[in-house]
Amino acid sequence: MVLLKSFVLAGLTAVVAAKSAVLDLIPSNFDEVVLKSGKPTLVEFFAPWCGHCKTLAPVYEELAQVFEFSKDVQIAKVDADAERALGKRFGVQGFPTLKWFDGKSDKPTEYNGGRDLEALTAFITEKTGIKSKKKLAPPSSVAYLTDATFKKTIGGDKHVLVAFTAPWCGHCKSLVPTWESLANTFANEPNVVIAKVDAEAENSKATANEYGVTSYPTIKFFPKGSTTPEEYSGGRSEENFVTFLNEQAGTRRAAGGGVDATAGTFAVLDEIVTKYIGGTPLTDAATEVKKAAEGLKEDAQYKYAEYYMRVFDKLSKSDNFAAKELARLEGILKKGGLAPTKLDELTSKTNILRKFVEKITGKDEL
């Protein structure tokens, strides 16, 4: 008897523990809970059979838990397949549909933002001023494109790599961490966009159809200035993607973040450094670098061509400038804590300085 009682109590505890933080709405309580409570409420109209609804479910539950501490905002849902009258009342035509009720009006506004926890949390904070107490992951650097934003993103001054995915696709799920890391790696490249299209979402499947996407994930590359894509058929590691984009976009990124060992350097200027180390007078080398740099003014990395000129100028005042400056910058990099842009800049400068130091070392050894 005691054993049975313990079993029943354990079962009840499990039920309580599993209770959802999302409010369930039906016709008999909708007006009371949403329209007459005076509390802003985000309402999801869903259908149990809907794949996108199933994908959203854990995120939506977590969202409700994030704001459960507050008595001034509500996260709720309606089974609009079972309660069709409610769906019809608020103009629901597809699933899931998210609508925001401000607590004052019975006329909601439709939510059209991202369906990740960060985007939903930011939306509620913007609307209510209520901040999440939960530490969220940093926002994604992936551009999530829809039919409305796709054409605005491609064909301009940016190279765009797009993954067409489906929520149920196992390979797409496996790609997620790589794609997020790739987007972070290129976050500081103004001319490169790492994007994603949900090929089965109502607001983006027309784009997938237009580009003949029939399997997932399908990855396409749109060079800047072009609306005609190239099919990507290479490997799916971050290293593979970085190598591909560096070749296509002329970038110097390294997998995992930062720039590679060639960033900031120019072969034509390195040749002059080599000649200087080999015996060309400093003033002649400096003049030659300045002349060669003129032809690089249209390059996105031109500021580093200017850095070559600065190094030659400093060398005219101190023979040890390159070695000392390299040691100083390497010390700063070793300490860490730098903003990504500053990290890229200092790494590129050390790449340039190393050309001078390596050449000098090689000459001394001779």
In DSSP notation, 268-322 reads HHHHHHHHHHTT--HHHHHHHHHHHHHTTTTSTTHHHHHHHHHHHHHHTT-TTHH
CB 230, CB 180: distance < 8 Å: no
Decide if 172 is catalytic. Answer: yes
Q: Verify whether residue 87 is a known catalytic residue.
A: no
Cβ pair 44, 60 in contact under 8 A: yes
Catalytic residue among 34, 56, 160, 172: 172
Distance, CA of 362 to CA of 366 (rounded, Å) = 7
The per-type count for the chain, helices as H runs and strands as E runs, is 14, 10
Question: Would you list the DSSP string of 90-132?
Answer: TT--SSSEEEEE-SS-S--EE--S--SHHHHHHHHHHHH-PPP
**Gap between the terminal Cα atoms of the chain:** 93
Cα angle 108-114-116, degrees, rounded to a multiple of 5: 115
Whether 286 and 313 have beta carbons less than 8 Å apart is answered as: yes
Residue type, 268: V
| Amino acid in the structure at residue 241 | F
Beta bridge partner(s), residue 97 = 45
**Of 21, 23, 35, 50, which is the active-site residue?**
50
Q: Is 235 a catalytic residue?
A: no
Catalytic residue among 34, 53, 175, 245: 53
C-alpha 127, offset from chain centre: 24
Phi then psi for 227, rounded to 5 degrees?
-105, 5
Helix (H, G, I), strand (E, B) or coil at 221: strand
Distance CA 269, CA 348 (A): 14
9 is catalytic: no
* Cα distance between residue 156 and residue 191, in whole Å: 9
Active-site choice (59, 169, 329, 360): 169
Q: Identify the CA nearest to 99 among candidates 41, 23, 146, 52.
A: 41
What positions carry a catalytic annotation? Answer: 50, 53, 169, 172
